[in-house]
Structure 1
Amino acid sequence: MFDVTALDLARFQFAFTVSFHIIFPAFSIGLASYLAVLNAAHYITGRAVFMRLFDYWKTIFAVAFGMGVVSGIVMSYQFGTNWSVFSDKTGPILGPMMGYEVLSAFFLEAGFLGVMLFGRSRVGPGLHLVATLMVAIGTLGSAFWILSVNSWMQTPVGYDINDVGQFIPVDWWAIVFNPSFPYRFVHMVLAAYLTTALVVSGVGGWHLLKNHRDEAARTMFAMAMGMLLVTAPLQILAGDAHGLNTLKHQPAKIAAMEGHYDGHPEGGAPLILFGIPDDEAEEVRYAIEIPYLSNLILTHDLTSPLPGLKDFPKEDRPGAEIIFWTFRIMVGLGFAMLGLGAWGAFSWWRGRLYDRHWLHRAAIAMGPMGFVAVLCGWITTEVGRQPWTVYGLLRTADSASPVDLPAVSTSLLAFIVVYFVIFGIGTYYLLHLMAQRPDQGDPEPVDGPTRAAGTAPGPAQGDDAKGEV
């Protein structure tokens, strides 16, 4: 009844597992940096609220980090089972890069994680802060190598092809720092920070609705709102630069994202806000357009030519029907994040940051939207790369293992069942942890350099009438 091939299921299986996986690193990258900031703030000021928040979020980080590791290991096996041809042809380049990620970044994270989680009373506040910084640097290092690998697949350079069709390295600097890598790395790291800021603001908003004088809730909410206000506009600028880079190296992807089936050789391309893309008919039905705006956004010029999907052979085009929408959801959520941060800044200016209940409800509603934006961005990136695994060089259809349909369907069904059970329970536990308010009282002795003059912790600090930050 359904014309489904083993290749289709192999693609869906990888998409399914990577969608589960990416939400955890996106959260843990930002959360590790947030923990480092909390630890440093406590070390400098001696305020107990920062350590209470650190202890609160470090448990959540540990669970998310563990779930990310497990889901990532499962993905790696698929390179051997479903994508062995891809692994063979790209192994001389991608294999060492994945090894560098493990040897440098992951070992750094794993080596200091135990000290960060359990070692404060044993190593002291200074070394504990160093351990937390190492974990944060390790998560960024992991993002560096993984994004470098993916970016090379999008914009391959610095390679040669040997007699058996393998990509072999010629220039490692060019491979690692390939043309799209800086843009993708910055875009992803900012996305991780936004994702974490939304979760923290949602949790802070939840607790402020219960008690708007809760010092820990106030502190986390104010920090998250500040992060949103700073990071959201930076992400919009980074996204614009990333779009210009993608137009240069993957113009067919941009055409699909914009819904441009017809090219505009003389410029003047309209921005299609909404519509229904139809790849078969090669048009966007019921399109709502703003004249010239797509040209202005993509090229910063009204007369620069823009290609359309019809300018590329049908077999080389990505499908517009999916990424037209995922791109718009991602962009729409980005501006919603900017609006939430601006609302928070306005409330802070009016001295009402902690008692605007609709702001807190909006923060709760936006709490998971960072994950949605990350998923939509990832789908846009990967579906827009089709029909290639290595852009312009190795097709997806030529990358799969010679595996029969029943074998792929059985493993896919097992993944779906196991993932929803295991990660469903893990997500429920994370939400349970977030629903609990941070501990009251000083969680550990504050001594030596961690005590700042005039900042003795106590209930009065949390209920300070001047706390309308």
Structure 2
Amino acid sequence: MFEGWDAVTLARAQFAFTMSFHIVFPSFSIGLASYLAVLEARWLLTGREVFLNLFNYWLKIFAIAFGMGVVSGIVMAYQFGTNWSAFADKTGPVIGPLMAYEVLTAFFLEAGFLGVMLFGLKLVGPRLHFLATLMVAIGTLISAFWILSSNSWMQTPAGYAVNADGQFVAADWLKVIFNPSFPYRLVHMVLAAYLTTALVVGAVGAFHLLRNPHLAGSRVMFSMAMWMATLVAPIQIIAGDQHGLNTLEHQPVKIMGMEGHYQSHPGGAPLILFGLPDQQEGKVKYALEIPKLGSLILKHSPDAPMPGLDTVPRENWPPVPITFWSFRIMVGMGFLMFGLGLFSLWCRWRGSLFDSRLLHVFAVLMGPAGFIAVLAGWITTETGRQPFTVYNLLRTSESASPLAAPAVGSSLLAFVIVYFVVYAAGVTYLLRLMAQPPHPGEVGPPHEMPTRTAGITPAIEGVSQ
């Protein structure tokens, strides 16, 4: 099945496969934990039963999604010791402590309060239960902080030294943690998580409104989700633009791949909307472009010169076709979210938020858009950094374990079979829960559910693609 693939390529494919399954669950559970905290806060402030019903409705979905994220994250962590032992050895003195900080902060916070959040409302009382929900929500954000800090260090390494054994060690922990790309990537990812959750909640609410427009729970969840899309989508577009400018400063080759700039443009670069990048010939075929707009967006001057990949050794080129198209998919999803928010605002102003079937169908179709955007953004980030695991310092080919291709290929095949069976069952169950509308007297997870838990993710977005 994998004939002709070397061990490094198979290891990258394995990490990409497992990461693709994993990343969608934390991006959903981060936003959903905060949404649950908002629902419980509104219940405590207003006393309206509909907020408690929605809290219990989404709490069951959160429990399943959280568990699936934990399991898939643990699987990824093992790959650093099996497929990427050279990477683990050379970056361990920097990456290891960052992962330990995630365990000591986010893991313990979530492990300490998740059981109370899931099963303790009648046992500890509403106020203490709300504290537990808030702590879980904060824990997911702290987890994102450390995971993104470690991955951002791999993108824009700072505050390090190299010891006699060729290992990266921390010379300044503040510079390691708050490396140049970290603030931009943290904001971008957290906003993406909130949008992902809003789109799922909005899709579920719209689905039930199409069937019965008078359900109180469906109306409330849909209204809240559309407010989130309306307010956060434009902020995300601005945050993405700032992230792009930061990437241009610190990872210019990645920008060249994202924009399809094989050639330099000394008199101003065009914005290539679409085309077919040809890695062998070093050009974008059939390009549909707007002259000068690329330089105007990236350097705020239409005549600003933009270097291209012709200034970079070919062995350091990223896989441009993948980076080029994944970036456009991410941006396209972002503008569709912005359009959904504007449409919902117009319907709200006209008083047809709960009656517009066109809006509801649009919202249902946009349900997976957040996951698509997160996957596309992650692929853009990771493929654009290639051929390095630590940007410009450690090549991917130097990071892999000395394994034979059949050994990696067999484990990849096993992952493909198991993941499609297990996660198909999990996602099917989640969809079945969402297909049932919230109703008065909604109860949370049964007390028989297991309470053992772990951190939101013990692995980093790292060496794939």
Q: Answer whether TM exceeds 0.5 for this pair.
A: yes
TM-score, normalised to structure 2, is 0.94
Q: d(CA) in 2 for partners of 1:233 and 1:429?
A: 33
Q: Deviations over 1:332-354 (max 9, x none)?
A: 11000000011111101000000
SS state at 2:389 partner: strand
Deviations 1:287-319 (A, max 9, x none): 001111111111222232211111111111111
Give, in whole Å, the separation in 2 of the partners of 1:346 and 1:250: 40
Q: Is the 8 A contact 1:116 1:128 kept in 2?
A: yes
| Per-residue deviation, 1:110 | 1.7
Q: Does 1:15 align with 2:33?
A: no
In structure 2, the partner of 1:239 is: 240
Confirm whether residue 203 of structure 1 aligns to residue 230 of structure 2: no
CA distance in 1, matches of 2:299, 2:137: 36
Q: Which residue of 1 aligns with 2:460?
A: none
Q: Which residue of 2 aligns with 1:387?
A: 387
Q: How many Å apart are 1:3 and its aligned residue?
A: 2.8
CA distance in 1, matches of 2:35, 2:202: 12
Structure number with greater CO (CA < 8 Å, separation at least 6) is 2
Match of 2:125, SS state, is helix
Give the equivalent residue in structure 2 for 1:106: 107
Partner of 1:457: none
CA contact (8 A) 1:232 1:337 kept: yes
Amino acid at match of 1:30: G
Structure 1 alignment gaps of length 5 or more:
445-469
Secondary structure of the structure 2 residue equivalent to 1:401: coil
Give the AA of the match of 1:83: W
2:310 maps to what in 1?
310
The residue matched to 2:161 in structure 1 has which SS?
Answer: strand
In the other structure, the counterpart of 1:340 is 340
Structure 1 or 2, whichever has the larger Rg, is: 1
Show CA shifts across 1:97-147 (max 9, x none): 001101101211121111111101111111111111100000000100000
Taking the TM superposition and a 5 Å limit, the aligned residue runs for 1:69-108 are: 69-108=70-109
Give 1:277-288 correspondences, 5 Å limit: 277-288=277-288
Range 303-312 or range 283-292, more displaced? 303-312
Counterpart in the other structure of 2:439: 439
Equivalent residue, structure 1, for 2:462: none
Return the alpha-carbon distance in structure 2 between the equivalents of residues 32 and 110 of structure 1. 14
Is contact 1:48–1:442 with CA below 8 Å preserved after alignment?
no
Deviations 1:16-51 (A, max 9, x none): 001100000000000000000000000000000000
Question: CA–CA distance in 2 between the matches of 1:123 and 1:35?
Answer: 17
CA RMSD of aligned residues (A): 1.1
2-structure distance, mates of 1:129, 1:301? 50
Q: Cα distance, 1:443 vs. partner?
A: 5.6
| Cα pair distance change 1:443/1:15, threshold 3 Å | closer
| Corresponding residue number in structure 2 for 1:456 | none
What's the counterpart of residue 360 of structure 2?
Answer: 360
Give the TM-score of the pair, scaled to structure 1: 0.93
* Count of matched residue pairs: 443
The one-letter amino acid paired with 1:427 is V
CA contact (8 A) 1:48 1:443 kept: no
Secondary structure at the counterpart of residue 289 of structure 2: strand
Aligned pairs for 1:37-436 (under 5 A) are 37-266=38-267, 268-436=268-436
Deviations 1:221-257 (A, max 9, x none): 0000000001100000000000000000110110010
Give % identity.
65
Distance in 2 separating the partners of 1:82 and 1:431: 34
Q: Tell me if the contact between 1:26 and 1:191 (Cα under 8 Å) persists in the aligned partners.
A: yes
| SS of equivalent residue, structure 1 residue 220 | helix
Q: Residues of 2 paired with 1:104 and 1:96: CA distance?
A: 12
Q: 1:98 to 1:442 in 2, by over 3 A?
A: closer
Q: 1:9 to 1:213 in 2, by over 3 A?
A: same
- Does the aligned pair in 2 maintain the 1:295–1:302 contact within 8 Å? yes
Measured against aligned partners, the alpha-carbon deviations of 1:428-454 in whole angstroms (never above 9, x if no partner) come to: 00000000111224769xxxxxxxxxx
Distance 1:43 1:253 in 2: 48
Deviation sequence 1:124-182 (CA, Å, 0-9, x none): 11111111110000000010000000000000010100111000111000000000000
Distance in 2 separating the partners of 1:297 and 1:217: 40
Residue pair 1:158, 1:170 contacting (<8 A) in 2 also: yes
Helix, strand or coil: the match of 1:262? coil
Rounded to whole Å, the distance in 1 between the matches of 2:304 and 2:364 is 43
SS of residue in 2 equivalent to 1:422: helix
One-letter amino acid of the counterpart of residue 269, structure 1: A
| Ranges in structure 2 where 5+ consecutive residues have no aligned partner | 445-465
Q: Tell me if the contact between 1:191 and 1:235 (Cα under 8 Å) persists in the aligned partners.
A: yes
* C-alpha distance in 1 between matches for 2:106 and 2:313: 41
Deviations 1:39-97 (A, max 9, x none): 00000000000000000000000000000000000000000000000000000000010
Q: Secondary structure at the match of 1:273?
A: strand
1:452 is aligned to none
Q: 1:425 to 1:443 in 2, by over 3 A?
A: closer
2:57–2:443 CA contact under 8 A, matched in 1: no
The answer for the alignment partner of 1:36 in structure 2 is: 37
In 1: Cα distance, 2:443 partner to 2:348 partner = 29
Shift of 1:2: 4.8
SS in 2 for 1:418: helix
CA contact (8 A) 1:260 1:308 kept: yes
CA contact (8 A) 2:59 2:118 kept: yes
Query: Is the contact between residue 56 and residue 442 of structure 2 (CA under 8 Å) also seen in structure 1?
Result: no
CA apart distance, 1:358: 1.2
C-alpha separation in 2, matches of 1:90 and 1:274: 38
Q: In structure 1, what is the Cα distance between the partners aligned to 2:329 and 2:120? A: 42
Aligned AA (1:279)? Q
In the aligned structure 1, how far is the partner of 2:430 from the partner of 2:299?
43
